[in-house]
Amino acid sequence: MLRIKTKLSLGLGFLFAVIVLLTAAGLYSLNRLSGDAQAVLQDNYLSLELTERMHRMLDNYVADLAEGSPAGAARDGFITEFEKSLTRQERNVTEPGELEATQDLRSQFDVLKKDSSLVASRFSDIRQSLHRVNELNMNAIVRKNEAARQTAEQANVLLGIIAVLSFLISFVFIVNFPGYIADPIRQLTESIRQIADRNYSERLFFKSRDEFGELAAAFNDMASRLDAYEHSSLAELLFEKKRMETLLDNMSDAVLVLDEKNRVLFANPIACQLLSVKKSDLTGRYAPDAALHNDLLRSLLQTDSSHTFKIYHNDKESFFQKETFVVRVERPNMSADAGVVILLKNVTSFKELDQAKTNFIATISHELKTPISGIKMSLSLLEDKRVGALNEEQQKLLAHIRSDSQRLLGITTELLDLAQVETGNIRLNISPSDPYALLQYALEAVQVEAEQKQLLLETQVEENLPQVRTDPDKITWVMINLLTNAIHYSPEKSRILIEMRKEQEYLLVSVRDFGKGIEERFRSRVFDRYFQVPGSPQSGTGLGLAICKEFVEAQGGQVGLESEVGKGSRFYFEIPF
């Protein structure tokens, strides 16, 4: 049994053999013609040229005698040149009879050399010998030209026969062989279309025993299995569908299923209740059409995943978290979207707990500020020399107490700010502010801390910046926080680069340190609440950058980070002028 690959190889090999045969025949014929032509040129042309030259020398000598030239000089030149030509002719004897004619010519010339008179009457015998040699070579040229012509005719006939046979065989091959490959593929394509239309009774019948035969057997086996599955599994599929719908109907979360064409396939009772529609009015409809008069459904289709909705449900305001799942069907060598599942999870209880936590933090933070302020006032009184002198040990203890109370006050302030952020009650006091004054205030606030680590605060500030409408307290808070972080992460005796410039319609402020940098896997989380980069100095609550982000975005700006491990980090924010 020949495989398709073998048949293709044989077919292409046949065409290659035809090409080689035509090429070989052509080369053989051309070689024969070239040989005959070369024989004509090499064998006879030189003899004709030599006899012609000797004729001219005889004629010239006779002419010189007639003009009365000195006989001695003319005789010596003639004898020398004629001897050279005759010697070359003796070496070029190729035709029958040419040797005898050349020998006669030599004998007559030898006699002529011994005769000192060399009169013109004695040259007639030499001319006859030259004429005989010339005639022999001319006849040879005619004969060989005829042989070359016959060779060319034979080559034409041979090439014609080979070309006709090759054309006929190649034509039969070209007409029949592509059909051998294309016809089974066409039948297979048509059968696949039938299977795609769920006509599982379709079968292929190839008589060949090669790969097409194996393909037909495999296709028929697949079709029979699909046919059996279609008839035997329908009841089981319906049962599984019913069980799945029952499970979804009894879920406490709202479930909405759309197909790949955005038609509603399924909606459980909770989803219908939240959307305020009947299941029969929703199922089977094109979702955008159903959303024309349903604000919640329109929002579900337009918003991204992981969006929180506030919906009045169970006689109170409830919160639902939207989650979207794309259904993908995996098939051999391809995958396709088969629809979308929209899930609304009831997160009201979590929101209530989060609100309680926020209220608790706000209350505790507010209550802690009063005793902390009292502690700071008492510390100030103790440090006053009018109250009494303190020894060195007591002064160290008071310094530790002041540092701890200051840190506790900072944490309390951050918690209060966080409470504002979480409740959405960020109070902004917008007013025109001088960006240079804001930066100068922030630099003065961290100057002492920077000097303790011998850090150079290097500024690159654009001149003639306009005033910016912002909350000066919150923006300076953001600047101080970024500068404080840069100081904490900078090695001693290094520098911190602060830039401030106009970036289109925004004021850009950036703080860059030259510390160890932040790994790429942690960069997306540095602005999350309570997150601190592993291995960093645990000097805060992890709320500072999160609050910075909220303060800046509340004023229409944005924050960002650029970092490279081993080269430091650059934090920046932009606020509109």
Q: Please give the pLDDT value at position 571.
A: 96
Higher pLDDT pick, 406 / 475: 475
Q: Please give the pLDDT value at position 277.
A: 86
Q: Please give the pLDDT value at position 432.
A: 92
The model's confidence at residue 461, banded by pLDDT at 50, 70 and 90, is: very high
Model confidence pLDDT, tens digit, residues 485-524: 999 889 999 999 999 999 989 999 999 999 999 998 888 8
Model confidence pLDDT, tens digit, residues 113-129: 776 555 555 677 788 88
Least confidently predicted of 167-171, 384-388, 489-493: 384-388
pTM for the whole structure? 0.39
Q: For residue 265, report the phi and psi dihedrals to the nearest 5 degrees.
A: -90, -35
Q: Please give the pLDDT value at position 40.
A: 53
Least confidently predicted of 255-269, 426-440, 560-574: 255-269
Residue 297 pLDDT > 90: no
User: What is the rounded CA–CA span in Å between residue 66 and residue 571?
Assistant: 119
Higher pLDDT pick, 368 / 149: 149
Structural element, H or E, at residue 69? none
Minimal CA–CA distance to 468: which of 497, 498, 515, 430? 430
Residue 186 pLDDT > 70: yes
DSSP character string of 299-364:
HHHHS-SSEEEEEEETTEEEEEEEEEEEEEEEETTEEEEEEEEEEEEE-HHHHHHHHHHHHHHHHH
What is the arithmetic mean of pLDDT over 371-378?
72
Residue 527 pLDDT > 60: yes
Q: Please give the pLDDT value at position 479.
A: 93
Structural element, H or E, at residue 45? none
What is the arithmetic mean of pLDDT over 406-414?
66
Residue 151 pLDDT > 90: no
Burial class (CB within 10 angstroms; exposed 0-12, middle 13-18, buried 19+) of 563? buried
Give the distance from CA 75 to its chain's centroid: 92
User: What is the rounded CA–CA span in Å between residue 202 and residue 219?
Assistant: 9
Residue 482 pLDDT > 90: yes
Residue 286 pLDDT > 80: yes
Q: Taking a C-beta distance cutoff of 8 angstroms, is the pair 237, 229 a contact? A: no
User: For the chain, what percent of residues have pLDDT higher than 90?
Assistant: 14
Where would I find the beta strands (DSSP E) of 101-163?
Answer: none
Q: Please give the pLDDT value at position 138.
A: 83
Summary mean pLDDT of the chain: 78
Residue 456 pLDDT > 70: yes
Burial class (CB within 10 angstroms; exposed 0-12, middle 13-18, buried 19+) of 552? buried
Model confidence pLDDT, tens digit, residues 303-339: 766 667 778 777 777 878 787 877 777 666 666 677 8
Q: Please give the pLDDT value at position 343.
A: 82
What is the arithmetic mean of pLDDT over 390-406?
74
Burial class (CB within 10 angstroms; exposed 0-12, middle 13-18, buried 19+) of 159? middle
Least confidently predicted of 49-53, 74-78, 137-141: 74-78
